Amino acid sequence: MRNDTATPKARAARAGWLAALLATLAVGCASTSPERQQITDSLEPLNRPLFRFNEAIDEHAFGPVARGYKSVTPEPVRVAFTNAERNLGFPARFVSHVGQLQLVEAGSELARFLLNSTLGIAGLLDPATEAGLAKHDADLGQMLARWHVPPGPYLMIPVFGPSNSRDAMTDLVAMMMNPLAWTTPAAPPVGALFAINRRAEADDKIRLAKESALDYYVFVRDAYVQRRAREIRGDYASRLHEDAANEPTTFPENLYDVPADEPSEATAAAR
């Protein structure tokens, strides 16, 4: 019989490491999730023509309008529109957090919405951040990913851009949950304004990406897939790290580290 002479502190440390190992293995069980596999672009023959269609719209209409808008609109106004758009996206964020049992984040987002919708003049201002209420971004696609719903194939949606079958469905639901959709007459012009504002803020990054990418379709596809993987896996890793901070032992940081804004192997090979 083994004689265990370890002190209670040592036994607690071993138990902590065992818990860490089990937690890591539990997360590893999700390694077959499509978020951790190769990019699935089985619809590329359809996606590429749609991508060219979107690029033509952006080159001849959306891009020039966004640049003109940016040249005449002061930055504080653009920031205010960004704040308002985020504020209107509250319902989907709240449902996502609740669906993932992230009740603290859900409560924080609820408090932010109430404060910004009132004192913040319909969300144009952000007094919630000044009051110390942190932002907790989330979407319905992340909730379904937590429920192990696979993303499905990569999709290039006309006008709206890159997505996948899971996120396309949840984005449609999120649009219907947006309070802007409940005010039908105001929805089209305000939605168009928000879209132009987003395009204007991203103009420099888009220009640099087009200049540097050998195959811009592959660049956009890989950037989208990697960003979604970071958003989904990063949430798991950050929560494990937060739990470990309360234990006598620690987990390694960045359990699923994905290099930020780096092209995938497919993009590197294309270059």
- Tell me, what's the pLDDT at 40? 84
pLDDT digits (tens, 9 = 90+) for 244-266: 444 443 434 443 344 444 444 44
Task: Yes or no: say if 215 and 125 are a contact pair by the CB < 8 Å rule.
Answer: no
Which pTM value belongs to this model?
0.73
- Tell me, what's the pLDDT at 166? 97
Taking every pair of Cα atoms in the chain, the longest distance, rounded to a whole number of angstroms, is 81
- Tell me, what's the pLDDT at 34? 39
- Tell me, what's the pLDDT at 239? 53
Task: Yes or no: say if 197 and 205 are a contact pair by the CB < 8 Å rule.
Answer: no
pLDDT digits (tens, 9 = 90+) for 153-174: 999 999 999 999 999 999 999 9
- Tell me, what's the pLDDT at 38? 58
Residue type, 215: D
SS3 letters across the chain: CCCCCCCHHHHHHHHHHHHHHHHHHHHHHHHHCHHHCCCCCCCHHHHHHHHHHHHHHHHHHHHHHHHHHHHHCCHHHHHHHHHHHHHHCHHHHHHHHHHCCCHHHHHHHHHHHHHHHHCCCCCCCCHHHHCCCCCCCCCHHHHHHHCCCCCCCEEEECCCEEEEHHHHHHHHHHHHHCHHHHCHHHHHHHHHHHHHHHHHHCHHHHHHHHHHCCCHHHHHHHHHHHHHHHHHHHHHHHHHHHHHCCCCCCCCCCCCCCCCCCCCHHHHHHC
Task: For CA atoms 95, 177, 50, 190, give the dihedral sign.
Answer: negative
Residue ranges in the chain whose pLDDT is less than 50: 1-6, 8-34, 37, 237, 240-271
Buried b (16+ CB within 10 A) or exposed e, 194-232: bbbbebbbeeeeeeebeeebeeebbbbbbbbbbebbbbb
- Tell me, what's the pLDDT at 259? 42
